[in-house]
Each structure stands twice: as structure tokens, then as C-alpha cells.
Amino acid sequence: QNYIYDIYNTKSAAKRLRARSFFVQMIMEEITQDILKLFNLPSWNVLIQAGGKTLILLPNLEDNDAKISDQKREIEQIVWQKFNAEIKLNQILSEPVKGADFQNFGKLLSSLNAKLGEQKKQPFLAALADQSDWMIHLDYAGHKLCPYCRKYPATKQTQEAKKDICEYCLRDIEIGQRLKNQSSIYVLMGKSGDHELLKNKLSINTSEAPKPAKDENLLIINPKTEDINSKIFDRAFRIGFQANHVPESKSFEQIAEQPDSYGLLAVLKADVDSLGAMFALGLKRDQSDKSIKNYDSVSRLSTMSRSLDLFFSGYLNQLISKHYPDIYITYAGGDDLVMIGHWSQIIDCAEDLSADFAAYASNPEIHLSAGISLCKPKFPIAKAIELADQQLEKAKNNPGKNSICLMDSVLKWQEFALLKDTRLQLADWLKKERVSTQFMRHLLEFGQMIRQAKHQSSNHALSWQPLLAYQIGRLLTGPNQADIKSWADKLLGLSKQVYNSEAEMALFDLVREHLSMLATYALYQNRA
């Protein structure tokens, strides 16, 4: 994913992000087809293919090691030269397996993942062993450095503005434009095409289904059945899904310039909690009891992988397009996602995403966590995603996971839902000028003091209650502020008698703990 997000110039960033995500997916498809062809295998030998990971069932032949090693070395050398070694291929071969191993498939997956983790520590080992010169040489031939990526010579020009650009960024812009909100994307992969992959080329058609030649592979992304032409039925083709929604004709800057945006975007990064453990142990049953059927089979684990991928690659498109028009899906597949868009829509979308995933899984043990970072539209995308990833890690470090981290506030999803009315109420009071910006800033400051008092030794932080009581007496004296004063008295929490129930008292405990986040949300929501 580092290759996808490492964009220097935010110009046409959305198109380039979308194209890079698609391009990495197509490289994985190419490598998969290359292995199938190498062993003369049909496509159903691909057991799992989602989120940049592929699991292929190979025959146990004597020359397996040699074939896979040669293929890996060839791919690494190509990636080394074409992509400055930014895309890494991690590929391992398991020990021979027999029938009984497929009834304890989670154990086999755990073993493979452990070996894969070790190989990730030694990227490009095969290519480096063959290189007499470890330097990557680029011939600039008098051209300037590409202003979009600052990595390759600017040997091309953009079609509209006629600006200098490298061939890779130009490819990203062209592909990104064609993928925008498209259904029935026909991808032909073979020796001829419009865009180079590793060993092959690809062409993208969005108007009609082409008829592939015998040596070409056809992939139909986000298919509409009425669009699939009967002319292709005498050829093998594969169907896949890609989350590719983008706001119509809106750049990051235009979204951030909207009156309720405060000049901000947000990045949401989310993934399924404890997925490795889920695959390794989730379908196991007590094998000492012979009356209990074991579900830890290759077919069920493959189905679970495809089902997760269908949610993130397929359903997510429907959720965003219907309810959140100002959100870009930059990457989604397998078990995780990254989205960029209008900051308040991202926050609302995160809550809907968690609820919909819980309904889809229908299992309280299967859930996701998320992290959200806020940024200006010209802030480096890679850095903004890195900050969102840091928020995600804080959410995952919460006991039991199943959490969201926003503005450094970590909450369980249920807690986040409980606070929704409060953050909307604070924003509404500020919008209708029932409270002043000054009062909301005081709440922000008191929230920070409450957190300091809980986690640090600070005498000043402990004084938040008398300071809040003073501001209540000073700023909430108007005839139409009785309900707000009642709320503030409950926030102050000097007496249990101010609460209507134990549940309300517990709610205000939660409000106090996350007061700075709630106040910040209200301020952002009301500053044009």
C-alpha cells in the first residue's frame, strides 16, 4: 500500500490513487495467471484471492521449487527496474500437503503466514542475489523530474494542460479517469494493450464487452448482468469487484472548500480485527467430541475470504454512492479500506460502516476497528494515511478492539454511537448561537484538563470543575439557556441528584472523558 499512497503532488491525486490501487490489483492478477499458466492449471485452483493476497493449489511436482524460484526472480527483476523496487512480491511455497491437512486448513494458513512474515523481512532477495549492480539507473535524457511524483523523468505531457509528466503518472491519470464510478469494466490482459503491466499489457473497455483472443484473459469488474455480451460466453472470463466510487467532478480542494468543511478533509482507515486468528482458529471445533463437525476446511475458509472481500470491494460502493457523495474510496478489498473525503461525512460513514459490517457478519466476535485523521486538502496523502493508521493502531490497542479512534479519543463503537446525540447537540447549539464560540472553546480546554487529570499528575488540571462552574455562571444566564445550563450542571457532576437515571450518569462520565473531541467537532462544524 505504500506504493499506492506515496504521491508527492496532490494535483489529480484522487485519480492517481484510484488508478494505483487498480494497477496493483491487476499486477496480482497477472502474477496469478502467470503461475496458473506455468503449471497448466485452471482458475479454480485459486483458493483465495483478495486484498493483495493469493493462495493457489499446486500439484506436488519435483520441480516446483525451481519453477517458483525462477518465476519469482523474474518478477522481482522487472519490478526492481520498472517501479524502483516500490512494489514488493512476497511469495512462498508450502510443504507438501495431503488430504487430512485440508480438514485442518487454518493451521496450514497460520504456517504459511508465518513463513510469509519471515520473507517480508528480506525483500528482493532473489533479485539482489542476481544483480551485479544494486543501483537503479534512470536515464533522464535532458528531461526534468516529474512534478507529480518526483521519481521519474517527465518524458510526457498531460493532454489538457500540456504539463510535463512522467509516463507512470500519466498512466495513472488516464486509468483513474476511466475507472470513475464505472460498472462493467472489461479488462483484457495479454501481449498487446494500452498499458504495460510486468510481462503483459492491459486494455480497459467500459462501453461494451470485448471478445478476448485465446491467449488473453478477460476480467469483468463490477458487472451488470445486462451489460455482459453473449459474444464472450465461448471464452473463459472472471468476475471481480472493486470499490471505485468518487464524488462527481469534485477535487479534494472543492470538497474542503464547502461551507461546512472548515477547509478540512478526513482519512478513514479500517480493517477487520484479529483476522489472522479468525482464519487460524475461527472455524475450529472441539475435535475430542466426535459428534461435533469440524468446519475448518479449505472450502469454508475460502468462502469466508470471498465474503469479506465482497463486503469491502462490492457492498462498500453501494453504501458510499447512496449516502456519502463527497467521499473517495481510494482502496478497499480483502479485509481493509482507506477512504478520503468530507470530514463530517467520513465520521458518519465510519459509524454506518461498523453497523453494516456487524449486520453482515451476524457474529459478535467478528468486528472491525477504524482510525480517522483530519487534514488540509494539500497535505501529503501518504502522511495523512499514516496519521490515520496511527489512530487505527490506538483503536486496536483498546482491550477487545472493536473500536474507533477520532482526534485521539478511543471509543468502542457502542460508546461512539451513544455520544452521537451529544456531539450533534453541541454543534446545533453553536449553529443557532445559543452558546458562544467562547463557551465551546472553554469546553475544549476543560476536556483536555480532564484527560490530563486522569493520565498525568497536574494540580491545574484538577481545577477543571471550579473553572467550569465559573463559566456556567458567567456565560449561561440567558432566559433561553435553561436546558443548556441543566446539561452543563450534569457535565459538572457535583451531585448525583442532577441525573435522571444511572444510565444518564454513565453517559456523562463518557461525555467528560471525550469532551475535547465533542467540542472540537462542534467548532469544526460551525466554522466556515
Cα separation, 440 vs 415, whole angstroms: 22
CB 5 within 8 A of CB 379: no
CB 136 within 8 A of CB 81: yes
Residue 149 has pLDDT above 90, yes or no: no
Cα separation, 195 vs 181, whole angstroms: 20
pLDDT digits (tens, 9 = 90+) for 317-373: 889 989 998 999 888 887 889 999 999 999 999 999 999 999 999 999 999 999 999
Pairing between β-strand 403-406 and β-strand 368-375 as defined by DSSP bridges: parallel
Residue 126 has pLDDT above 80, yes or no: no
Nearby residues of 58 by Cβ (< 8 Å), 6 or more positions away: 35, 39, 41, 45, 64, 93
Cα separation, 67 vs 35, whole angstroms: 9
CB 83 within 8 A of CB 89: no
The closest of 172, 139, 165 to 150, measured between CA atoms, is 165
CB 273 within 8 A of CB 367: yes
**% pLDDT > 90, the chain:** 46
What fold does the segment set 252-418 form as a domain? Alpha-Beta Plaits (3.30.70)
Beta bridge partners of 190: 201
Cα separation, 383 vs 404, whole angstroms: 19
pTM score of the predicted model: 0.88
Cα separation, 205 vs 220, whole angstroms: 10
The closest of 378, 403, 377 to 391, measured between CA atoms, is 403
pLDDT of residue 484: 96
Structure-block grid coordinates of residue 99: 488430504
CB 388 within 8 A of CB 269: yes
Structure-block grid coordinates of residue 137: 539507473
Report H helices in 397-436: 413-418, 420-431
What secondary structure letter does DSSP report for 158? -
> In this structure, how many other beta carbons lie within 10 angstroms of the beta carbon of residue 453?
17
Instruction: State the DSSP H helix or E strand holding residue 240, giving kind and residue range, or none if neither.
Output: strand 237-240
Cα separation, 524 vs 438, whole angstroms: 14
**Mean pLDDT across the stretch 485-501?**
94
Cα separation, 422 vs 447, whole angstroms: 14
**% pLDDT > 70, the chain:** 93
Matching residue, cell 519469482: 72
> In this structure, how many other beta carbons lie within 10 angstroms of the beta carbon of residue 125?
12
pLDDT digits (tens, 9 = 90+) for 299-331: 888 899 899 999 998 899 889 989 998 999 888
pLDDT of residue 82: 82
Q: At 132, is the pLDDT very low, low, confident or very high (cuts 50, 70, 90)? A: low
